[in-house]
Amino acid sequence: MDVSRPRLQRANGSSRVVFAVRDGQTRLTDLYQRDPCRVLFPDSEPGEPPQAVLVTTSGGVTDGDCLAMAIELGPGAEAVVATQAAEKIYRAARSAGHCAMEIAVTVSERATLDWLPQETIVFEGARLKRRTVADIAPGGSLLACEMVVLGRAASGERFTAGLLLDSWSVRRAGKLVWTDTLRVEGETPAGAGFGTANALATVIGVWDEAQAPFEKARALLESADRVRAGVTLVNGVVVARLLGEATEVRAATTRFLGDFRGRRLPRVWHI
């Protein structure tokens, strides 16, 4: 008699959204989506570029789930892409399992993309491997944000077991100019600089001339309170980090991005 554990149903979803300039305006030119990945297109505020909002209809992901998302901007296009809500990574059913997320961002020459997903909440015992690769052509620009929350502190939960392997790579004209990987396995690494913090936000900016945005970001972060914050410039890539308690990191990141962009974040951030 076969007494092996039943195979659990898992998600294998993907989405691809492409914006390009048609008749002098940025328009959606290609869309692909497969459950549980969906893309919504809310009306933008007057004078602002078109928006796309990525949605995971399953309400969260767990081990065995695989999600792939691609965002592409053609020459001269401008768009804002966000996520509908915080992404929840649930406890893994198997100690050796993990969920995988692949995010590909392509920005062509003279194009401008704001990639502004909301935070990812990694539950106790969750196991997530995520990779984001951004390919930016000369003359193109990218402002991207990524927030990670370890455990659900509001519920008294700490992240003491599980895996977060979160990697970023930025290519400029096909050449790798910045790469970074955060690995947390088990207890949040207090000795690695986290201290009592349970959340980290990383903001990445890529421009042909990055010195002025770097100076602006540094001035804004000097006034950040209740979080630890800093910014650096590496190979023309601006990298800012905000570290602290989850609600404070979200609030500080929201203020920073709003002030840096000179306009409010997409409405889904404020719902």
pLDDT for 21: 98
pLDDT for 195: 77
Amino acid at site 11: A
pLDDT for 159: 85
pLDDT for 79: 98
Strands in 64-140 per DSSP E: 66-73, 78-83, 87-89, 99-107, 112-116, 120-122, 127-136
125 close to 95: Cβ distance less than 8 angstroms: no
Is 216 in a helix, a strand, or coil?
helix
Using a pLDDT cut of 90, give the percent of the chain over it: 79
User: For residue 14, what are the contacts with CB-CB under 8 A and spacing of at least 6?
Assistant: 32, 33, 34, 37, 67, 68, 69, 70
| Mean pLDDT of the region 51-63 | 93
Alpha-carbon distance 209 to 112, whole Å? 14
Q: Strand 112-116 and strand 78-83: pairing?
A: parallel
Q: Strand 237-244 and strand 228-234: pairing?
A: antiparallel
Per-residue pLDDT tens digits for 188-218: 655 456 778 899 999 999 999 999 999 999 9
**What pLDDT band is residue 1 in, cutting at 50, 70 and 90?**
very low
Per-residue pLDDT tens digits for 88-141: 999 988 766 899 999 999 999 999 999 999 999 999 999 999 999 999 999 999
| Mean pLDDT of the region 232-241 | 97
